[in-house]
Each structure stands twice: as structure tokens, then as C-alpha cells.
Chain A
Amino acid sequence: GGIITQTPKFLIGQEGQKLTLKCQQNFNHDTMYWYRQDSGKGLRLIYYSITENDLQKGDLSEGYDASREKKSSFSLTVTSAQKNEMAVFLCASSPTGVQNTLYFGAGTRLSVL
């Protein structure tokens, strides 16, 4: 079986700071995703990528950049952290094909002071 590794697990930033979250998968999946989860809400898609160097905007892309440097790696940048922001960022991957099952990493918990 494969695994999705997100780093760091916890991230504390300052208002206005640029913050980068990293995600690695060894499933050899084509598609990777970044979701944001706020307390009491469902997951919202920020960016996804269907192959290396591809980037597609989700519903919540404003304020974020992403980069698919290679097939196994997908990073997310918060361009300017908002004061008192708290959320969990989840990375996921899925194989291409009819069955688009998503597999998730353990998440990065962001707190902005």
C-alpha cells in the first residue's frame, strides 16, 4: 500500500507571512488535491493537479498558490496568512480512471497569530 505524507503537521505563522505546505505520495497517482477544512464545515477544494506541472483552480484558490513539481509532490503556499486564521489543510491523491477514489494525508493544522 501507499502513503501520503504531509509536512509539517502543525504550522504556526504570523499575519502577512508566506507559508508553504508540502505533500508527497508514493501511490504513483496522477491526480493530487489540496483541500481546506474549517471547524464544523465540509472540505473545500483549493487546487488540484491532474499531472506533473498541471494546475487547476478549485473553489477556494484566491489567496493560495500551488506547485506540482513532480508526479509525487504537490505543494501549497498561503500567500499572506490572515490573522486568527485556523484551519486544517488536507492533501489527497487519486488514480486516473473510472474509479476516482481519493486517499488523504493526515493533514497540516495551521494557526496564525
Chain B
Amino acid sequence: GDQVEQSPSALSLHEGTGSALRCNFTTTMRAVQWFRKNSRGSLINLFYLASGTKENGRLKSAFDSKERYSTLHIRDAQLEDSGTYFCAVANNAGAKLTFGGGTRLTVRP
């Protein structure tokens, strides 16, 4: 089946710094979606991309279908950014998303 790998599995950042999360997949995917799971367990939509890049505040995501990866960049990290970030990819069949294992982000003062 489709394979989705996220890296790193865990990440610790100091407030005000930034980093990138990566999502690699084994076959050509139609689209990628990024989520954050907050402390209450809710999955929050961050981005949906079928190509290119999108930016929202301190977050920016890129999707390269040909090279089979997507990235999520966080800049000027804040304490409330802590949580687990998941990428999910949609294959050409459309209805089904395959999720990565997640990256647990901890932002420290």
C-alpha cells in the first residue's frame, strides 16, 4: 500500500526559533494535507495543497508531487504551537487519505 513517512518523529524548539517538518511518500500523490492535533485531541486543518506552496501566518507548506515530498515550515515558534503534526496524502483515487506517523513538536520557553 501507499507509504507515508514523517520526519523527525519528535522535535523540540525554543520560542522564537523555527524548523521544518518533512513528509515523504512512496508513490505520486494528488494532494497533501497537514493537520495539528492540539492538547484536547482535536485535529485542526492547517493546509491542503495540490501543488506549489501556501503560507498562513508563521506556517508555510510546500508540495512537490514529482519528488514525492511535502514540507511544513514553522518560524518564530510559540508555546501554543506545541502538538503533534500529521501529514496525509491523497492518491489519484481521491477518496482516501493515508496518514504519516506524526511529528511531536514541543516548544519551550
- Nearest CB of A to B44, in Å: 8
Residue B79 interfacial (CB < 8 Å): no
CA distance A64 to B62 in the complex (A): 36
Tell me the dominant secondary structure on chain B's binding face.
strand
Q: Are B99 and A48 in contact (CB under 8 A)?
A: no
Q: Are A43 and B99 in contact (CB under 8 A)?
A: yes
Count of residues in A whose CB is under 8 Å from the partner chain: 27
**A48-B88 CB under 8 A given contacts A88-B41, A102-B45:** no
Which bracket fits the contact residues of B? Answer: 20 to 34
Which residues in chain B, 1-19, are within 8 Å of chain A measured between CB atoms? 1, 4, 6
Neighbouring A residues of B40 by C-beta, 8 Å: 106
Neighbouring A residues of B88 by C-beta, 8 Å: 43, 102
Residue B90 interfacial (CB < 8 Å): yes
Which residues in A have some Cβ–Cβ distance to B below 8 Å? Answer: 31, 33, 35, 40-45, 48, 50, 56, 58-59, 88, 90, 92, 98-104, 106-107, 109
